[in-house]
Amino acid sequence: MNTTDNSFIFYSRLHLIELTGIKASNLSELLEHLRTVPGSCIYHHTHHFIQRHQYLSPEPANDFAYWASESLGDKQLGEELASMDPIAYPTIRLIREAVIEIIEKALASRERLKKLTVPENEEFTFLKSTSFIFPTQYVAHNLKEFIEGLSNVSISSIYYHMFEARLRLERLTNDFSNWLASSLNEKQLALKIARLDPYTHTAEGLRAAILKILEQKQ
């Protein structure tokens, strides 16, 4: 994050998961709750997988997609929900609307979905994240220090700056690109980092990809 002297402070964001007691056993119930649950629920179910995607594993794209495929047993809806890219939306409200729209369209076009219900114990359980944001000890004033910080911070810090910046700033950018372009005038580097796709990188792979872009410049 930029400070007044144009340095970059690496922050981190950690999560504690809370159970809400809200459950859905069919798509109508899911829709009803999707409209009313707190934004921190929507955030949790569409973002926590990204941080868990730390090695080659069949993690679902988001919890709604996984539930539709595996518990409700409708692969098509699961795929439609999985193809939604939460990182492309600048607000939780828009993510919520996108999920609702996919489910509403599916329900309107395929009658059988209205009859589907999950077996006992496979209800969708709404969870929410309590987030803790704090500065790490790494501060960069130039590219060299930035690379050093990036090499040492946790992967939570990288996700915070890369992906959650969009939700925080409500614009399609990330903190790294923003700082590189505005403080170091490194517009090309900023653009290359902004183009990285989280779906094709594991956690450490993402760090390595950013470092590679930066080190090529040095």
Partner 1 sequence: MINDYESIIGKGLIDELWLLAEHLKGKSVQNINSTAVGGGVAEILNRMIPLLRELGIDAKWDVIKGGEQFFNVTKKIHNALHGAPEEISSDMWDVFWTTGEQNSKEIPCTADIVFIHDPQPIALINQKDVKNNKWIWRCHVDVSHAQAIVWEALRGHIIRYDATVFSAPSFSKPLPIKQFLIQPSIDPLSDKNKELSRDVIEEVLVLYGIKNDKPIITQVSRFDSLKDPLGVIEAYKRVKRYVDCQLILAGGTASDDPESANVLQKVMLRAEGDPDIHVLLLPQNDIHINAIQRASSVIMQKSLREGFGLTVTEALWKGIPVVASAVGGIPLQIKHKFHGLLCNSIGGAALALKQLLQNQEYAKKLGENGREHVRQNFLVTRHLKEYLLLFLSLYHTEDVIKL
Q: Pick from 1, 7, 9, 14: which binds partner 1 (CB under 8 A)?
A: 14
Contact yes or no for 199/49 (Cβ under 8 A): no
Residues pairing with 12 in the sheet: 134
The least CB distance from residue 114 to partner 1, in Å, is 26
Contact string (CB under 8 A) for partner 1, positions 141-180, x = contact: -----------xxxxxx-----------------------
Residue 16 within binding range of partner 1, rule CB under 8 A: yes
Q: Which two tokens stand for residue 29?
A: 């119930």
C-alpha–C-alpha distance, residues 11 and 1, integer Å: 7
Q: Which of residues 109-148 bind partner 1 (CB under 8 A)?
A: 121, 125, 127-134, 136-137
Contact string (CB under 8 A) for partner 1, positions 188-217, x = contact: ------------------------------
Residue 36 within binding range of partner 1, rule CB under 8 A: no
Q: Would you say how long the chain is, in residues?
A: 218
Q: Residue 101: is it exposed, middle or buried by C-beta count within 10 angstroms (0-12/13-18/19+)?
A: exposed
Q: Which of residues 41-100 bind partner 1 (CB under 8 A)?
A: 52, 54-55, 57-58
In the bound state with partner 1, the residue whose beta carbon lies nearer, of 41 and 103, is 41
Can you say whether residue 10 is alpha, beta or left, with left for phi > 0 and alpha for psi between -120 and 50 degrees?
beta
Which stretch, 17-25, 79-87, 171-179, 181-189, contacts partner 1 (CB under 8 A)?
A: 17-25
Can you say whether residue 182 is alpha, beta or left, with left for phi > 0 and alpha for psi between -120 and 50 degrees?
alpha
C-alpha–C-alpha distance, residues 166 and 92, integer Å: 10
Q: By CB under 8 A, name the binding residues for partner 1.
A: 12, 14-19, 21, 38-40, 52, 54-55, 57-58, 121, 125, 127-134, 136-137, 152-157
